[in-house]
Amino acid sequence: MNTTKSSELFAEAQKHMPGGVNSPVRAFKSVGRDPLYIASAKGAKMRDVDGNIFIDYIGSWGPMILGHAEPRVIRAIQAAAEDSTSFGASSEKEIALAKLIKRFVPSVEIVRMVNSGTEATMSAMRLARGFTKRDKIIKFEGCYHGHGDSFLIKAGSGVATLGLPDSPGVTQSTAKDTLTARYNDIDSVHELVDSNRGQIAAIFIEPVGGNMGCVPGRKEFLQALRDLCDAEQILLIFDEVMTGFRLAKGGAQELYGIAPDLTTFGKIIGGGLPVGAYGGRAEIMKMIAPSGPVYQAGTLSGNPLAMTAGFETLSIIDETPDFYARLEAKSAYLADGLAAALKDANLDYTINRVGSMFTVFFTGSEVVDFDTAKHSDTQKFARYFGRMLERGVYLPPSQFEACFVSIAHSTEDLDQTIAAFRESVE
């Protein structure tokens, strides 16, 4: 596979951007290759600047559930752009998307649009502190909630991929208000609550972890969190930036039947454009300015292009009665094929899947939290990644990221992926 032009572009990029990239995992450092530069994408496939074609399982890290360049979404964005790319004022599209989100996710009574998942989680944290008049939060090892200072503590994802410690630049005074528990371990949460009684504003969690690889929260664990938060007057906040509208119409909370107090969104609600949102119980959300004293603002919040792309994406899902059944069937077909390949090769690796999110962990142990995910053989993963790439399959360049299946993946795409997998694992 010729990647000469990509390598030339990366060499040039390193003169102008930190590490040559605008987001760390894109640098391919943990897999020992130069990153590829993508020229175009359509459906389930991407083409790089050297003309190589790949079946894509990143999907822009989750948003492209319909596949790339879905015609109806593109037409809607083009039409919206004719009216201007930004107003810095209210538009009707904001209301339309807000109403759709509320209908999909019943726990959301009021929603505020922002510009990224990071902005959504930072804003939800400030809101939780303002509402409860408490300072501390609990998060879980391996859960990534964006790059806000309070969340960059045992944060999984790119931090784990690059082998970085807790990020320099995060002050001790900030870090002391973030308490870290073990995922799927309710006793570790009780210990923190008991030793910080009356001080904890919120518990943040990815109900299905996607930033230590795909690691599902256990139903009984999530229900225990809900019960604990009710008893201690702590806000339960589901970070559904990744899982929202992907695992079900109502996200992971629909799948588990557990309603959080607040939910953060991103990715799919922008249809591939930069967007985020947070929403929840009306009494909490009404604390946000201008209806309340908790300040949060954004020049591009509610951007008409992002609102249009998100509305069209969710509308297509809404108008397709069997959408999630079809997506589940595709994802199960792929996961079953990968599992069969491992069995035939007598290899003992672990595949975690929830709906259209999955990860192949290069460990024979069950993966239930960040510690067990870290047992994976990252050198084997790097070799596997390279072999899959050579065979036309584009995966996240990190053991600690989830893969995503889109509705655009065909049976032929899935079969080609399974065949490549058989040749790539060791």
Q: Which residues are catalytic?
A: 144, 239, 267
The residues that bridge with 53 in the sheet, in sequence order, are: 47
Query: Residue 185 corresponds to which amino acid?
Result: D
Contact between 376 and 35 under an 8 Å Cβ cutoff? The reply is: no
Q: What is the dihedral of CA 358, 362, 368, 373, to 10 degrees?
A: -110
d(CA 344, CA 258): 39
Q: Please, which residues bridge with residue 262 across strands?
A: 237, 280
Contact of 396 with 403, CB cutoff 8 Å: yes
Query: What stretches of 58-164 adopt beta strand conformation (E)?
Result: 110-114, 136-140
Residue corresponding to tokens 């784990």: 160
Helix (H) or strand (E) holding 305: helix 304-318
Query: Phi/psi of residue 68, each to 5°?
Result: -75, 145
Beta strand extents in 212-369 (DSSP E only): 215-216, 235-239, 262-266, 276-280, 350-354, 357-361
**64 neighbors 242 (Cβ within 8 angstroms):** no
Question: Which residues are 294's β-sheet partners?
Answer: 288
